Amino acid sequence: MSSSFSVWTTALLTLGVYSFLIGYNPVFAIVEHLFVGIGAGYMAAIGLQNIVKQGFTPLTNGNAWLVVPIALGIMIYARYSRPVAWLSRYPIAIVVAVGSALTISGTIQAQFIAQIQDTIVPLTSFSNIVLVVGTATTIWYFYFGTLKSKAAQQSYEWISVAARATMMMAFGAGYTGILAGNIARMVGIIRQLFGEWLHFIK
Amino acid sequence: MTAQPAKPQHWRRIIHLLVFLSMLIPLLRPLGIPIPIGETSRAVYDYIQALGPADVLLVSSNFSVPQAPECLPQMTCVTLHALSRGAKIVVIASSADGARYATTVTELAVDEGARYGTDIVLLGFLPGEEAGVSAFLADVHRTFATDQEGTPLANLPLMQTVHTGSDFKGVSVTTASANDMDFWPRQLQKYGAALIMASQASSWPKLQPYLRSGQVTAGLNGQRDAAEYELLLHRPASSVAAMDATSGAYLLIVALVVASNVAYFVFERRKGR
Amino acid sequence: MIKSYVPIVLFLLSCGVILGWVRRLSSGGTYPLRRIAALDAVTEAIGRATELGRPVFFTAGIRDVATSEGMQVVAGVEMLSYVAEKAAEYGTRVIATVANQNVFAMTAEVLQVAYKRAGHPEVYREDDIRFLSPAQMAYAAGTIAIMRREKIGASFLVGGFAGEAMIMADAAVETGAIQISGTARMAQLPLLVAVSDYCLLGEEIFATGAYFSGSPVSVGSLAGQDVLKLVAGALVLGGSLLATMNITFVKDLLGK
Amino acid sequence: MKLTLERNLPLVAAFLIGVIIVVAYFVDIPQLTRVSTELRNWAVIITAFTMGIGLVNLSSVHVKRIAAMNRKDWYNSVLLLAAMGTMFVATYYQKSFESLFKYLFDNVYGPLGTAMMSLVMFGMAVTCYRGFKLKNLDGFFIVFGAVATMLGNAPVGAAISKYIPALSDWVYKIPNVAGQRGILISSAVGALAVGLRVLVGLERRHIGLD
């Protein structure tokens, strides 16, 4: 068994997390509060570093424009005082606007055009047919309107069968990928517990 | 509706225990199932094998503690392999955590005999994700004035040959971030460097479209391919040792799927009728 | 100066189609929608939580709004506002956990609007929106603990998630809650589909506003989306048929 | 329509900023690109400030719990606040508290994260038993996709049959790509629509306007 304080800390905390598998219990509650505290403290420090590194330091070096985001950042705290609470709308509106601008400009090229272009292949093999039909039906599956004619409804039924089959196979494959990563992590943890801590694995 | 008021679900505890045992037992008593070398790890190996002393490889890391069991061996293998071919290495990281592992790999390479400054240089953390990478490839010396330790790039012989993205023969990105898979091909396009992407297994499906289109030359898929690479390099390490446990876990999961369906068709459906 | 015209033209056309349909519905047009099982289940889930006398749980994931995946979180928070409205009508408490500080600020605003609309502004309590931290697994740990402590009756995980989604969804299911989830992040969908009672796939998370409010803006935008999807599918299929006959016109045009 | 500081101007400001970023993406004007980068940097700075209101929420919940003096688990709230303070100081003044930071990061924060994350593994195993049933076509295809790739991913698959790796590879490269692309393309349309609505001010619940 290890005599290192760090190894013991790691091992006990790991067991504390695993105690959740038995059910929510006081030990897990302790570990959970510790973790939330540490996580928040860590992220807060990184945030403050960002303010200093990207805000105050360049500002004092002469980039006067940075007064604006810093002022906006302070405005978020207006929410605690009712008469000026509306001031906090500015920073939120701007942050969300940056996100939506990044989304609408980025998606059309990367997720729309590039993906469609890559899927256009000659239908000369079984694989290519599955690829093209699978992609097209999956896109059409997300048609939200209602269809009037009987024929259209019937073809939507078929489209949705093909689409769901394709998506489910993709999900199955995705499931495996995620599983593989978790197996690797789990092996790491078992090595930690039974190797470094208990010395059962050489 | 499947939801019911909470009551102890003991079958869950049994599955938890089985999961643990399915991996612990093969780790305690390795089975030694042979590991066949697949096409994907072979493709990366072949690409690195073809590098020579005139080539510079950019190695970027962007993964964190949870992905390290998969990604660290991948990055180590590619770096050491390239060095063994005489290629030069520039190491950067796109995240703060990634920088910790970039340091680990660089130190390991130096321990194995690489000369710091001539064979390998560690530039460190490059903030700004896509924007950062874009600026870096446009002008390496403007984004990094010094290496991670603060040595000016002018004092590092290797950096005198590296100025823009065009000076890299290839780029090897080991990443846990799906964003990297979108923007690296995009940013690298105009520089003509080949792109090798090593990823955690859960991002592997995401990489497929880029491999198909050729924007990514070759890729490594999680611990599995790391193990194969370790074997190709004749230096079996943590990934190879994990493979039996991996088989054990997969067999258990497949067994659970089978058992669940047997239970469903034999008991539940009969009850339902 | 302009790198390529094709994306710009397509972008402007897409915006035009969406805004055009919004205009059309705003001036009195109609666009009936098909049903989506997961959205039909929302009211049912809130109702069940009410019957059991348990709170409804909601979280919109760990992603930041100021990124290119931010709209998933916006969609999640939008859904939360409808869930909260409904829950307020039923007199059921909604507890939300938040990982990202921008999302926290949004969530607070959205909930106040929702409760006001439901006619119960007094229900809003800032303590029911729990900011945990952007540290992924700390957020997950805090969330599963809250799920258990508060004995939730229905759980909504809709937005932009990373690896933590599975832990939270599984914990909710074991608590006995109905689990409704949804994301457009491909890496998390497989898990959420497998573990949840109902799952909103990809684009479906962007449709909640139209289904719950029926406002001309959101329904119109959905109609516009439908047109774009018909075109996209046709491009894939038609382009490939042409490519089979060695006509690579569509593929080349998109590559420009 | 009257422009008011409270209601319209935030939306106008957001619209202008958004348009600059969008135009800079499509049109290559160096000055505009710089402005766009600067604006994105603003979002980072604002986000860092916003952290404060999150922390106020977290702290106030726990301070109230301690102050109420009637909870059995008050010590957890003390622990949380103490851990938050300690980690904050250790991270921010990393240079002075190097060994404390290293200990907290490598032996507390890191392992807690890894252990939490590995709970996914248990959840997935349980889900395989609970949810992967061949009840209908959906069930059949998800099980097929999962089992084929699982056996293909582990060395044991190749030991069972040499066709398993090939099948697994096919599932990854064809149906997987098709399904992913279909979802990606359609959700791109959805994200575009929501983004557009936010940008032109049709969607404004997020800033507290109805």
pLDDT digits (tens, 9 = 90+) for D64-96: 999 988 888 899 999 999 999 999 999 999 889
**Residue showing tokens 């499947």:** B2
**What residues contact residue A136 under an 8 Å CB cut-off, 6+ apart?**
C233, C234, C236, C237, D182
CA of B178, closest CA in chain C: separation in Å? 9
pLDDT tens digits, one per residue of B228-252: 999 999 999 889 989 999 999 999 9
Q: Is the pLDDT of residue B219 over 60?
A: yes
Interatomic CA distance for residues D118 and A116, integer angstroms: 36
Contact B261 D134 (CB under 8 A): yes
CA of C31, closest CA in chain B: separation in Å? 31
Burial of residue A1 (CB within 10 Å: 0-12, 13-18, 19+) is exposed
- Residue B112 CB neighbour total at 10 angstroms: 11
CB C215 within 8 A of CB C25: no
Contact D154 B243 (CB under 8 A): yes
Give percent of chain A with pLDDT exceeding 70.
100
pLDDT score of C242? 95
Residue type, B109: A
CA of B269, closest CA in chain C: separation in Å? 19
Residue type, C135: A
Contact A184 B209 (CB under 8 A): no
From A149-158, C22-31, C246-255, the region with the lowest mean pLDDT: C246-255
Q: Which of B18, B33, B208 sits opposite D155 (nearest CB)?
A: B33
pLDDT score of B1? 42
pLDDT score of C203? 94
CA of B85, closest CA in chain D: separation in Å? 29
CA of B131, closest CA in chain D: separation in Å? 8
**Which of A139, A158, A178 would you mutate first to test chain C, the one with the most C CBs within 10 A?**
A139
From A109-118, B262-271, C142-151, the region with the lowest mean pLDDT: B262-271
Contact D125 B253 (CB under 8 A): yes
Q: Which residue ranges of chain D lie beneath pLDDT 50? A: none
DSSP annotation of C118: T
Contact D50 C2 (CB under 8 A): no
CA of A62, closest CA in chain C: separation in Å? 26
CB A199 within 8 A of CB A1: yes
Nearest CA in chain C to D200: C19
Tokens of A25: 């219990």
A93 in C contact zone (CB under 8 Å): no
Q: What is the CA radius of gyration of chain A?
A: 27
Interatomic CA distance for residues C165 and C56, integer angstroms: 17
Give percent of chain B with pLDDT exceeding 90.
60
A107 in D contact zone (CB under 8 Å): yes
Tokens of B239: 């990934």
Contact C186 B206 (CB under 8 A): yes
Residue B187's pLDDT band (cuts 50, 70, 90): confident
Q: What are phi and psi of D70, to 5 degrees?
A: -125, 10
- Mark A43-75 as b/e (b = at least 16 C-beta within 10 Å): bbbbbbebbeebbeebbeeeeeebeebbebbeb
Which residues in chain C have their CB less than 8 angstroms from residue A146's CB? Answer: 32-34
Residue type, C166: M
Which residues in chain B have their CB less than 8 angstroms from residue A194's CB? Answer: 24, 27-28
Nearest CA in chain B to C155: B3
DSSP of B37-80: PPHHHHHHHHHHHT--TT-EEEEEEE--GGGHHHHHHHHHHHHH
CB B81 within 8 A of CB B113: no
Q: Which of C68, C176, C185 sits opposite B3 (nearest CB)?
A: C176
pLDDT tens digits, one per residue of A77-113: 999 998 999 999 999 999 999 999 988 888 888 788 9
pLDDT score of A169? 96
C37-213 to CATH, choices 3.50.50.60, 3.40.50.670, 3.40.50.150, 3.40.50.1220: 3.40.50.1220
Interatomic CA distance for residues B125 and B148, integer angstroms: 8
pLDDT tens digits, one per residue of B40-68: 899 999 999 999 999 999 999 999 888 88
Contact A112 D188 (CB under 8 A): yes
- Mark A174-185 as b/e (b = at least 16 C-beta within 10 Å): bbbbbbbbbbbb
- HSE, CB side, 13 Å, CA atoms: give it for residue D209: 19
- pTM of the entire structure? 0.89
Q: What is the 3-state secondary structure (H, E, C) of A84-143?
A: HHHHHHHHHHHHHHHHHHHHHHHHHHHHHHHHHHHHCCCCCCHHHHHHHHHHHHHHHHCC
Query: Which of 129-148 (D) contact A at CB < 8 A?
Result: 137-138, 140-148
D16 in C contact zone (CB under 8 Å): no
D151 in A contact zone (CB under 8 Å): no
Q: Is the pLDDT of residue B37 over 70?
A: yes
CB pairs under 8 A between A and B: 86
**Which of A105, A117, A175, A183 would you mutate first to test chain C, the one with the most C CBs within 10 A?**
A117
**What residues contact residue D165 under an 8 Å CB cut-off, 6+ apart?**
B36, B38, D152, D157, D158
Among the listed residues D83, A21, D45, the one whose alpha carbon sits nearest the alpha carbon of residue C133: D83
Q: Is the pLDDT of residue C35 over 50?
A: yes
**Residue showing tokens 């540490």:** A38
CA of D210, closest CA in chain C: separation in Å? 6
pLDDT tens digits, one per residue of A58-80: 888 888 888 999 999 999 999 99
Decide the pairing of beta strands C178-183 and C198-201.
parallel
Which residues in chain B have their CB less than 8 angstroms from residue A179's CB? Answer: 201, 249-250, 253
A65 in D contact zone (CB under 8 Å): yes
Tokens of A95: 């942050």
Tokens of A22: 């038995």
Q: What angle do CA A158, A164, A165 make, to 5 degrees?
A: 90
Mean pLDDT of A127-135: 96
Q: Is the pLDDT of residue B8 over 70?
A: no
CB B181 within 8 A of CB B207: yes
Nearest CA in chain C to D32: C1
Among the listed residues C206, C205, C224, the one whose alpha carbon sits nearest the alpha carbon of residue C26: C224
Contact B131 D40 (CB under 8 A): yes
For chain B, which domains are there?
Answer: 39-243 (3.40.50.10160)
Considering chain C, what is the average pLDDT of its residues? Answer: 93
Interatomic CA distance for residues B119 and B103, integer angstroms: 15
Tokens of A44: 């807060």
Chains that touch A (3 or more CB pairs under 8 A): B, C, D
Tokens of C14: 């897409």
B36 in D contact zone (CB under 8 Å): yes
Contact D194 C225 (CB under 8 A): no
Contact D128 B260 (CB under 8 A): yes
Interatomic CA distance for residues A191 and C234, integer angstroms: 52
Nearest CA in chain C to B10: C174
Contact D120 C22 (CB under 8 A): no
Contact C64 A20 (CB under 8 A): no
CB A69 within 8 A of CB D42: yes
Give the ranges where chain B is alpha helix by DSSP (H). Answer: 10-28, 39-49, 68-84, 96-111, 129-138, 140-143, 178-188, 204-213, 222-232, 238-263, 269-272
Mean pLDDT of A20-48: 94
Among the listed residues B11, A165, B256, A125, the one whose alpha carbon sits nearest the alpha carbon of residue D178: A165
Contact B6 C186 (CB under 8 A): no
Q: Give whole-number Cα distances, A13 to A37, A39, C132, D113, in Å.
A: 14, 15, 19, 10
CB pairs under 8 A between B and D: 101
Which residues in chain D have their CB less than 8 angstroms from residue C217's CB? Answer: 197, 202-203
Q: Which of A104, A176, A177 sits opposite D199 (nearest CB)?
A: A104
pLDDT score of B209? 77
Tokens of B70: 């998969």
pLDDT score of B3? 45
Which residues in chain D have their CB less than 8 angstroms from residue C18's CB? Answer: 192-193, 196
Helix (H) or strand (E) holding C53: none
Considering chain B, what is the average pLDDT of its residues? Answer: 89
Q: Which of D119, D137, D189 sits opposite A161 (nearest CB)?
A: D137
CB C60 within 8 A of CB C160: yes
Helices A5-18 + A26-50 axis angle, to 10:
110
Interatomic CA distance for residues B216 and B219, integer angstroms: 7
Q: What is the 3-state secondary structure (H, E, C) of D182-194?
A: HHHHHHHHHHHHH
**Which of D84, D192, D210 would you mutate first to test chain C, the one with the most C CBs within 10 A?**
D192
Tokens of D178: 């098709």
Give D114's strand partners: none
pLDDT score of C250? 87
Interatomic CA distance for residues B135 and B150, integer angstroms: 20
